[in-house]
Structure formats: C-alpha cells, structure tokens
Structure 1
Amino acid sequence: MSREFPISLTPPDWLVRNLQPQKAPVNWAAAVRAAVAMALPLAIGIAVGEPGYGALSSIGALSGVIGDTADAYRLRIVNIAVPQLVGALGVTIGALVFGHGWVAVAALTGVALISGMISTIGAVSSAAGLLLLLNCVIGAGLPLPGQWWLVPLLMTSGGLLVLLLALLSWPLRSGVPERTAVADTYRAVADLLAAGGTGTYEEARHAVTQSLNQSYDVVLARRAFHHGRSPDLVRLLAQLNAVTPVVEAAPAAHQYGKPLPAAVPAAALRLADVVETGATGPLTLRLPAPTNETARAVDQALRHAADVVTGQAPDPRNVGDRLGRPAALRIRAARAARNVLLSAGSWRYGLRLAVCIGLAQVLVSIIAVPRSYWVVLTVTFVMKPDFGSVFSRALLRALGTVAGLVVAAAVLSFVPPGWWDVLVVLVLAPLIPVFTPRGYGYQTAAITPVILVLTDTLHRQGIGLLAPRLLDSLIGCAIALVAGYLLWPESWHTRVGDRLADAVADTAGYVEYAFRSDADPDARARRRRGLYRDLSSIRTEFQRALTEPPPTGRRAAAWWPLVVAVERIVDATTAAGVRVRQGAPSPSAAEVAQVVLQLRDLSDRLRESDVLTAVRTDLMGPSDSVLEPLRQEVAAARAIASPH
C-alpha cells in the first residue's frame, strides 16, 4: 500500500519576507502634496490645450514625490532639487540621441556607468544617479514634443513644484523637524531604560541607534547650511550630545539584571517633552536614590542631560559633533569624485548596471518591441545597486506591475480621457507616498496605474498599453536576473560576513581605546557611535540577504547570532567603562590586550569563509574583573557555529 505524503502549501520564508509589508505611519502631508503636484500640471495642460505638456510636467512631479522623504526643510531642498537638475541633463542627453540606433545604445550605456558609480557616494547622489538614467531612457525612447529645451524645463518644473509645496510651511515650522527628531531620540532612550534587565533590551537599543543616526543626520545637515553656529542649532546639538552618557549607562544597568524604577524612564520622557517644546528654566527630576554603581551612572547621566536640555545658551566651543557630518553631506565634491574613480566597488556597481542597460537597449534596437523604453526603465529600477537585492526587486517589480495593471485596466477601460484623467491622478497619486514605505512591490503597484494614465495622455492607446507594459516589464526583469544577478558570483554570496569582520576589527580598536588612561571621552563616544551605526547597516544588509532564495538567504541567517554577539560585546565594553568611571578597579593592560587579541583573531577568521565555524577561546583571568562580562561575550561570539 503506497503511502501518501502531504504537500506543504506553506510559502518559503524568503518569499514571505519579500511580500510582507513594512510598518510605517501614513505621511498625510506628503500624500496631499503628491495629489496637488501631479494633478495640477495635468489640469493646466488640458486647460491650455496641451495635455502632453501637462503630462510631462506631472511625470517630473512623480520623481519629486518619490524623493520627498526628508523631514528637515533644508534637506528637502537637496533631496528634491539636486536630482531634478541632474535629471534635466539626463532627458536632454536622451532626446539628443533619440532615433540614432547604436549611438543611443552607447549613450545609455555610458550614462548607466556614471549613474551606477555616483550612486555609491550617498543618498542624494543615489537619487540623482537614478533620475539621470531614468530621464535619459525616457528621452531616448519617446518622441518628445517641442524644442530640445522644453521637455527638461517641463519635467524639472514638476519636480520643483513638489519642492515648493513642501516648503510652504517652512516659515511656520522652522526648526520643528529638528527638535522633533531630538525629542524622539530621548523617547527612544526612555524605552531603552525601561527595557533594561528584560528580554526587549536588544530591540530597544537598536531603535536608539536608528534614532540617533537620524537625529544627527537631520541636525548636522541643517548646520551644514550655516556658515556660523546659530544659537538654536548649538542648543539642539548640545541636547543630542547630552543623551550620550545616558545611552552609555544603559548597558551597565541592563547588565545588572534588574529593571530600573519606573521613575527613571519617566524622567527621560519628561526631558523629551522639554526638548520638543523648546522650554527653558529649572527642571527638577524626581529620581529615586541610586543603590548601586550602575544606578548611580544612570542618575548622573540623566541629571546632566536635564541641565543641558534646560540650559539657555550652551557654549559653542564646547559643543562638538559626536558623529561628524551626516553620510549624505560629509564628503566634498572633489573628495567624492576621487573616491568614486578609485573605488573598486563603484566601478563594479557601474559596470554591472551598464552591462544590463546596454543589453536591454541592444535588444530593443534589434527586436521591435512596443514601448521598448519600458524594458530599459524596468532594468534601471531593478538594477539600482544600492536599493537592495536584485533578485527580490525583480520579483517584486513583476508582481507589483501585475497588481498595478489591474487598476490601470479598470481606469483605461471605463474612464474617458480628458478632465477625468485629472481626477484619476488626484485619487491615485497620494497612494504613492502611502505605499512606498511598505516596500518596493507596493510602490510599483501604486506607481504603475499613474504612469500609464500619464503616458496614455502623450500617445493615446487606451487599454492597448497594458499588454506591452506587462511584456516589457517581464523582459526587463529577466535581463536583470540573468545579466545582473546570475552572471555575477557576488550575487550568490552575502556580504554580511566581510562587513561583520570589519566591525569586529573596529570593536577591537574600541576596546583597546576605551580603557586607556588618556582616552578622550568625545573620541570614545564617536568610536562607539560609529560602531553602532556600522552594526545598524549590517542589520539592514542582513535583512536584505534574507530575501534571497537559498542558499544565499540560508547562509545569511547563520550570521545573525554573531551580529547580535558583536553588538553585545560593544555593550559590555561600554558597561565596563561606565563601572570604571564609577569607581570599579580598572582592568590591567594585559587583560585588555588579551581581549583585543581574541577579537582581532576572530575578525581574521571571519574573512576566510562564508560559513561560520567555532573558534577556540582562551580568556584566562580573575572572575571578579570588571572585564568579566566582556570576556564572556567574546567567548560566546567565538563559540558560535553554524552547519556547513
């Protein structure tokens, strides 16, 4: 009698991770801006008898809507205006090579190389590189109306309209986003203090790292626009720096193993409210009397933060940048150009993107494909190297396009062209900023019907647009998967191991520096913050790797315990330093050197293989040493193993 085995209908974990929407609050202001910025140009175009011009301006507004992600107003200027100006150059180049066959192939391939290379500089240059290539593809694939200068002007005006709408409230809310960011950091620290001694501590500490990253970027980015030090910015930066001792004391409190009294996180929440309102004057914190050295460290840190938060005029000379310039702004133009030209990673990204774009453009030049520029556009979006896994983006692009086409089919079938298109855009455009934070597939599903309505305004085809759109998207995804994923061996290997090896080496340097008698507190804080920022990036890389199919995703999952272990080592080092400053005996130089040696050996071994193996640990010393918890964490990290 044959035995039947049930077939599991449970989808694989990597597919579930790809399709699972990310949690994010709805940005209603961005939704309103998207509706107005994309519907208004189209309405004006229809009103003056040039709907095509209005559609082009709305397409330009679409890129502005996608880039409208910053909170601080000065960051919005950079995030939206710079990519728009670069995009104007891209559409001009594309229009000049339109219909020129192999010249267009060469031009798009060259632009793709430049786009991929500059994407490695930072967030703003990444958006600029994307828009440079996208607009070049549009210019090279569509017969655009008017003189050569008209289309760049129309598309740029649409993007700048988004910027104008975003800046309307600046006079009334100047400085509010920065204060809100710093206040949110204090609230995250309050959650961290409340989580001490509990199982939610790791998650709370990661949230603090993300909040600190965002706050420093927002505050320092605003300050980068000032030639001098304005009192408001000095005060905000001082308040942000003042939370560092609290963050450093939190691991020591957690290490003690018992939750802090509820009045302690409540005091941090009270400080957050003061930061957000900008109030000054005396503030009395109702903190319980500390009963041990770690509670004393938390108490002192909170009282110091209260003095800084309520202080009226911090000394600008004593307010340093604990983290340096934010990632998007800290590299000057000359240095950025040099780094891009000399970086193997930037060349690798650029060549990979250029190969895929070149192949796509050759294919559509040889084979008659309706709306062929959609093939190249799909490759551009999927292959954007700094946007995550090529595999998952290709999958989500295909699924998102299918979902968007269902909506587009209903619109193009039942909604008559003309003024009804304005109403459709007014309804669908707000969905773009609403769905974008949920994930790439959801963003694609929101964008697809809007862009189809706008392109149908340029060249009326109605429902005939749907089949070519689906075919071209699938062809583009296939090109990206084969030429941009399968043919590149690095696609099959997670980069978590190499980056984690760098983090372990940096941790060794941090341990070595933290217990020096001449260690500068600000320099120690910068090292610790830099480590946590790097580990946060590794977490992001880890999450991306989990969306890859086996064996890549399975190999990435094996690294997760070690990612957590390295974070715990940094925490243990910080906690040991806090205890020493509270009167505990300092560790000997030999003890510190032994831990540093073990960490550097672990870093070297991590570079040797994609597979984790256990490493022997020899950490001898007195059990009552202040470094004992750190030694245990190092031993645990070295003992982690995964199956071959």
Structure 2
Amino acid sequence: MSTERTEDIPSGRARHRPLAPPAWLLKGLRPTAAPVPWAAVVRAGIALAVPLAVGFALDEPEYGALASMGALSGVIGDTADAYRMRILNIAVPQFFGAVGVTLGTLVFGHGWLAVGALTLIALVSGMISSIGTVASVSGLLLLLNAVVGAGLPLPSPWWTAPVLLAAGGLFVLALTLLGWPLRGHRPERAAVAATYRALADALEAAGGAAYTERRQEVTQALNQAYDLVLGRRARVHGRSPALVRMLAQLNAVIGLVEAAPAMHLRGGPLPPALPAAVRELARAVEEGRTGAPVPVLPEPHTPAERALDSALRHAAAIVHAAEPDPYNVDDRLGRPAALTVRARRTVRDMMLSGASWRYGLRLALCIGLAQSLVSLVPVERSYWVALTVTFVLKPDFGSVFSRAVLRALGTAGGLVVAAAVLAEVPRGWWDVPVMAALAALIPAFSAKGYAFQTAAITPVILLLSDLLNHQGFDLIRPRLLDSLIGCAIALVAGYLLWPESWHARIGDRLADAVDDAARYVERAFGAHEPTEPALRAARTARLQARRRIYRDLSGVRSEFQRALTEPPPTGARAAAWWPLVVAVERIVDATTAARVRVNHGAPAPRAEEVAAVTADLRALAEGVRNARTPAQLEPPPPRAGDEASVLAPVRRELAAARAIASADR
C-alpha cells in the first residue's frame, strides 16, 4: 500500500524567504522541459522568409511583410497533431483574420468611429474565444488584425491587405500538409500508442508516491487520443478500417485503466513483466504489427491481479487482431453530433453563457480604454497598445496577472534582440536570412513558456513593422512604452476591477467534482436489473461516467494550477484547496478500484454502505461550495465500517479529505 496520504500533501502555504521572487513569477520564467519541434522550426523559418524574399524580388517589400505577418499567425496557430485539425486551426482563423483586417482598414483614420468599431469587435472576439480552441484563435486573429488595419496605413485598395495576410497563412498550411500523404494516420496512431505508454508508466509507479502524477498523465493521454480519433471518425464517411482499428485499440485501454488503481491500492511494486507487456502493445500499435503471440504473464491471485491480467490479455487480442469487427466497436464517449447541430448548440451556448459575456465585456472595456487613450494622447505606433491588451487578456492562455508581467519581461528581452538587428543589419535582402533565423526561434521558444514565446515573437514583429513604416531603430522605445501601457490597462481594467479575478470560483468547480464523484459511486454500485441488456447498459453508463469525471477532474486540476499562479489572495486560496483536489482524485481512483475488484470476485458492498459513502460525498460537496477556505469545513463525522469491504479504501480517502479541515484549524 502506498505510504503517501492525502494529509501529507503540502498545502502550499509554507513560508518562503522574504526576499525570494514570488512563486508565480519563478514558474513563468522557468523554461518548460519540452523537446524542440524541429519540423515546426524549419517550417516557420521557410514560411516567414519566402514571402519576404518574393516581396523583395517584386520590389514590393510591404507586400512581402504583410504576407509574412499572415504566415506568423499560421505558425502561432499550428498547434494540433492531426492533419485535419491543423487545417481547421490554420484555415478558419485566417478567414476571421481577413475579416478583421478588412474592418480595421475601413475605419482607419476615422477617430472615434475606429474606437467604437474596435470596441464592438473586441466584444464579439471575446465571446467567440470562449467556445473552444479553434474559435479562440479565430477570435484572437479577428481582433489582432482589426487593430493592425485600424492602426497602420496599409496598401490600397482595401482588399490588398486581407488577401496578402490570408496568402501567408495558407502558405503555412500548404507547408504543413506536405507530410500528409506519408503520415496520414500517424498522429492518431501515435496518440493511441502514447496512451499505452503512459499506462505502462503508471503501472511501474503503482504502490509508490509517483503514481498520482503518472495517473494524471494517463488521463491527459486518453483525453487527447479520444479527441483525435473520434474527431477524425466524425469527419470520415463510412467506417474507415484504420480508424476502426485505432478506436478498438483505444477502447481496449479502458480495462487496463480501470485495473491500474486496484493494483496501486494493492500495494507494492508490480512484476516487471506487466508494464513491459503494455509497452510492447504500445510498440505494436505504433508500428501497426499484428499476429503476435499471447504475452507470458505471471499467475494472478487477487481480484486486482485477475482484473489486470484479464484486461491485458483482452488488449493484446485487440491490438494484434488481423481485422477488428467494425460492428463491435463502441464509441465510449459517443460520436460527435452533426456539424450543423454542433454549430447551433455552440451559438446558443455562447449567447446564453455568463462567462462568455463577462470575458467579452472585459476585453471590450480594455480595448475601448486603449483606443480612447491613444486617441487623446499622442502615442507612437499606438496600435501596439491594443495588441498587447489582446494577447494578455486571454483566459485560456493562463493567469492574466502573471501573463501581463511575463509579457512585459518577454518584450524587454525581445527588444534587446530587435535593437541589435535593427542597428546592425542593413535593410534589404539581408532581412530574408535574418527573418528565417528569428522565425525559426518561435516554435522552439513557444514550447518553453509564455515569456519565451513573447521574446521570440517581438523581434519578428518589429522587423516586419519596420518594413511597413521604415522607422528603423526608432521603433524600439515606442514599442516598449506601448507594451507597458497595454499591460497596465489589462492589469487594472481587465483584472483588478473585476471581483471574479480576486474571488475565483475554484471552490464551485471542486464542489461540482465532488458531486460527480458521489454520482459515480451510485452508478458503480447501484442496483440494476439482472438481465444481460440491463447489465450491459449499466456498464456502458459507468464507463461513460468514469471517463467524464476523470476528464472533469483534469479540467479542475488545470484550473487550480492556473489559479496557483495568481497573486494573493487567489493564489493562496487555491493553494489551500489544492490538497482536497488531489484527495477527490484519490476517492475516484479508489471507487474504480473497488468496482474492478467486485467484477473479479470480491464481495459487493452493502447498499447501506454505498448510501452512507454517497451521503458523505454530497455533504462534503455542499461544505466546499459554502466554505471560502478548508478551515471552514466541518470536521469529519465518526462513521464505523467494515474494513474488509471493497469500499474501505474509499471511506479512508473520504475521511482523509474531510480531515483537511481539522488539520487547518
């Protein structure tokens, strides 16, 4: 049994040295340990340098600069793995960007009309950004290009700028799709194989302190793989054999994922042959191998061992099957609805969402203030103020407060590089190799963190701006000043003046997760009709509930980790609740393990015990919803139970979660 207990998790309130930088700043400035995406590095260098070279060859450097700006948007938005998603991530935002620059060009030089137009565009952009990843990038590009069109004298006629910007983005898309004929299904297959590898890592860590983190990685890998495979399958007419195979292989992971918590609670390390067998399955999935012999596994003795053995043999049979049955492949999460249905739901949810309106109004207020300020006070290259506000005030990019500070630091670092380039490199054809080198840094630095991405993008934008404005080194000081003004507006009008910034609703999200855990316990051990169809339906509903709660818990963890980067009191409050987040994850793990043990021979818990655990979880959810800190929770009620029951680990984790309140008193 693991010796790590919920009570031992640090609450995050330990005192630091008085002169030490704040934790959120150190976290933002610490580069993420991510591999360099060499393909993206080469693609970015070519995508931004070639349009510039064409512009010089045609003696129209301004046209080349605009096309390179469009390519820059495509490079930043190219974040997906699957090729079909990459088409959406690049092409759809380019359309919104073309609309944005057109609207901006139409109000260029019109004073307060431009202020009102950009404010309205900011409202629409903010509401669109709340829908999803592609919509977020589309809303961002809509507003960014509108600001550029309203702030820069772009070439005439009006359609020139949108055509050139879209051409640059589509050039990136063309470069991206060059590998599609050779790597058609590889991203999806790699995602499925990554799920098996993450599971092997979790099994190796079972019984130890590292298991919780490894289990989180399994959840993330599983979410990504299902998103890729089901998203691809929803767009393919009929039943593609390759997609049927991958979905069957992915569904086979479910049994292994359910057995992993049971093996962890069993205690002690697993025989090395078990994780090794899972790794071999990962290699078979990635290489497309079939027909391998049944793996040699140690003899199982306990219900947990029997569950893992059964799941592993089933996964091996599915992975190595020559032809999976296309009519016996279950879409565990449900296939996505038709595109028109999803579009109607999306628009309806956006218009009725309080969060969508709140973010749209925040962004519109900040853009309106930025444009009003530069209309009243002469500010050089004033469009950069609104651009800074747009980049900083993105809710899905992380904490607004830390992002504003990190952007200021990243801009300062990028300006050092830009100053050297603008001072030493003569304008002309020398800009092409310099642009290729600077652009190649963007994907490499973006993987390291927000401040590093800003430092890489800043000299690229400055060099392109110089080709449009011909100001040279004189761009440096105004750009730094504009960035600082934009960060200040975002901090004050987009952060400090909004109560939700200081009173983040992280407790509500956590309470909802605890309620979901209570429903999961009911689904796992509730009474069902003994008929085969009813049992099959109950199992499917339980699997869907388990996938949903693990996905939701992953979202809760991400939201808490984002809140931890905020300054006090939000960051301190998130740190206080953090142990309970981990405790709820363990409750769900223990419930899954209990269900697996029952499926493989352990006695089922009594209905009274299930009802008592469910009632305790709902009471905990209500307490979290009404308390501002864990110290305001009621201490755990004394409740006896059978220690031989499969729900005993669930009760212990629940008691540990409630004991957080007592520990904080």
TM-score range, shorter chain: over 0.9
The residue type paired with residue 331 of structure 2 is: D
- What secondary structure does 2:641 align onto? coil
Does 1:552 find its partner at 2:565?
A: no
- Distance in 1 (CA, whole Å) between partners of 2:17 and 2:550 is 44
- Distance in 2 (CA, whole Å) between partners of 1:643 and 1:397 is 36
In the TM superposition, 1:306-325 aligns within 5 A as 306-324=316-334
Corresponding residue to 1:422 among 432, 438, 445: 432
Task: Tell me if structure 2 keeps the 8 A contact 1:281–1:311.
Answer: yes
Cα deviations by residue, 1:478-509 (Å, 9 ceiling, x for unpaired): 00010001100110123321111111111111
Q: Tell me what 1:389 maps to.
A: 399
Task: Report the alpha carbon displacement of residue 146 of structure 1 after superposing the two structures with TM.
Answer: 2.0
Q: Which moved more, 1:193-202 or 1:319-328?
A: 319-328
Q: Tell me what 1:223 maps to.
A: 233
- What secondary structure does 1:298 align onto? helix
- Distance in 1 (CA, whole Å) between partners of 2:359 and 2:639 is 42
Percent sequence identity is 66
Structure 2 vs 1, CA of residues 263 and 327 (structure 1 numbering), >3 Å: closer, same or farther? farther
Cα deviations by residue, 1:309-360 (Å, 9 ceiling, x for unpaired): 1112222332222224589989711110000001111101111111111111
Q: Tell me what 1:589 maps to.
A: 607
Q: Tell me what 1:36 maps to.
A: 46
Task: Tell me if structure 2 keeps the 8 A contact 1:360–1:376.
Answer: yes
Structure 2 vs 1, CA of residues 327 and 380 (structure 1 numbering), >3 Å: closer, same or farther? farther
Does 1:623 find its partner at 2:656?
A: no
Cα deviations by residue, 1:534-573 (Å, 9 ceiling, x for unpaired): 1111221122112111222111111111011000000000
Task: Tell me if structure 1 keeps the 8 A contact 2:511–2:625.
Answer: yes
TM-score of the two chains, using structure 2 as the length reference: 0.94
- Distance in 2 (CA, whole Å) between partners of 1:546 and 1:621 is 37
Task: Tell me if structure 2 keeps the 8 A contact 1:217–1:327.
Answer: no
Task: Report the alpha carbon displacement of residue 636 of structure 1 after superposing the two structures with TM.
Answer: 1.1
- What secondary structure does 2:181 align onto? helix
- Distance in 1 (CA, whole Å) between partners of 2:450 and 2:17 is 31
The residue type paired with residue 649 of structure 2 is: P
Task: Report the alpha carbon displacement of residue 24 of structure 1 after superposing the two structures with TM.
Answer: 1.3
Cα deviations by residue, 1:353-396 (Å, 9 ceiling, x for unpaired): 11111111111111111000000000000111222211011001
- What secondary structure does 2:389 align onto? helix
- Distance in 2 (CA, whole Å) between partners of 1:78 and 1:561 is 38
Task: Report the alpha carbon displacement of residue 12 of structure 1 after superposing the two structures with TM.
Answer: 2.2
- What secondary structure does 2:309 align onto? helix
Corresponding residue to 1:512 among 522, 531, 541: 522
Corresponding residue to 1:493 among 462, 479, 503: 503
Q: Which moved more, 1:530-539 or 1:81-90?
A: 530-539
Structure 2 vs 1, CA of residues 327 and 542 (structure 1 numbering), >3 Å: closer, same or farther? farther
Does 1:260 find its partner at 2:267?
A: no
Task: Tell me if structure 2 keeps the 8 A contact 1:38–1:61.
Answer: yes
Task: Tell me if structure 2 keeps the 8 A contact 1:595–1:619.
Answer: no
Structure 2 vs 1, CA of residues 441 and 327 (structure 1 numbering), >3 Å: closer, same or farther? farther
Q: Tell me what 1:150 maps to.
A: 160
Structure 2 vs 1, CA of residues 222 and 136 (structure 1 numbering), >3 Å: closer, same or farther? same
- Distance in 2 (CA, whole Å) between partners of 1:551 and 1:601 is 26
Does 1:633 find its partner at 2:661?
A: no
Task: Tell me if structure 1 keeps the 8 A contact 2:442–2:457.
Answer: yes
- Distance in 1 (CA, whole Å) between partners of 2:37 and 2:362 is 35
Task: Tell me if structure 2 keeps the 8 A contact 1:122–1:327.
Answer: no
In the TM superposition, 1:131-280 aligns within 5 A as 131-280=141-290
Q: Tell me what 1:3 maps to.
A: none
Q: Tell me what 2:593 maps to.
A: 575
Q: Tell me what 1:368 maps to.
A: 378
Task: Tell me if structure 2 keeps the 8 A contact 1:217–1:326.
Answer: no
Q: Which moved more, 1:536-545 or 1:376-385?
A: 536-545
The residue type paired with residue 61 of structure 1 is: A
Task: Tell me if structure 2 keeps the 8 A contact 1:116–1:385.
Answer: no
Q: Tell me what 1:563 maps to.
A: 581
Task: Tell me if structure 2 keeps the 8 A contact 1:17–1:546.
Answer: no
The residue type paired with residue 395 of structure 1 is: V
Cα-Cα RMSD: 1.7
5+ unaligned residues in a row in structure 2: which ranges?
A: 1-15, 529-534
Q: Which moved more, 1:296-305 or 1:308-317?
A: 308-317
The residue type paired with residue 84 of structure 2 is: R
Cα deviations by residue, 1:404-449 (Å, 9 ceiling, x for unpaired): 0000000000000011111111101011111112111111000000
Does 1:114 find its partner at 2:127?
A: no
Structure 2 vs 1, CA of residues 81 and 514 (structure 1 numbering), >3 Å: closer, same or farther? same
- Distance in 1 (CA, whole Å) between partners of 2:28 and 2:338 is 27
Q: Which moved more, 1:76-85 or 1:14-23?
A: 14-23
Task: Report the alpha carbon displacement of residue 240 of structure 1 after superposing the two structures with TM.
Answer: 0.3
Does 1:445 find its partner at 2:455?
A: yes
- The aligned length equals 639
Q: Which moved more, 1:244-253 or 1:9-18?
A: 9-18
- Distance in 1 (CA, whole Å) between partners of 2:489 and 2:499 is 16
- What secondary structure does 2:59 align onto? coil
Q: Tell me what 2:5 maps to.
A: none
Task: Tell me if structure 2 keeps the 8 A contact 1:252–1:294.
Answer: yes
> RCO higher in 1 or 2 (8 Å CA, sep ≥ 6)?
2
- What secondary structure does 2:430 align onto? helix
5+ unaligned residues in a row in structure 1: which ranges?
A: 1-5
Structure 2 vs 1, CA of residues 134 and 315 (structure 1 numbering), >3 Å: closer, same or farther? same
Q: Tell me what 1:379 maps to.
A: 389
- What secondary structure does 1:438 align onto? coil
- Distance in 2 (CA, whole Å) between partners of 1:92 and 1:109 is 16
Task: Report the alpha carbon displacement of residue 65 of structure 1 after superposing the two structures with TM.
Answer: 0.3
- Distance in 1 (CA, whole Å) between partners of 2:356 and 2:17 is 45
Structure 2 vs 1, CA of residues 129 and 343 (structure 1 numbering), >3 Å: closer, same or farther? same
- What secondary structure does 2:182 align onto? helix
The residue type paired with residue 321 of structure 2 is: G
Structure 2 vs 1, CA of residues 643 and 476 (structure 1 numbering), >3 Å: closer, same or farther? farther
Task: Report the alpha carbon displacement of residue 516 of structure 1 after superposing the two structures with TM.
Answer: 2.5
Corresponding residue to 2:84 among 50, 71, 74: 74
The residue type paired with residue 647 of structure 2 is: L
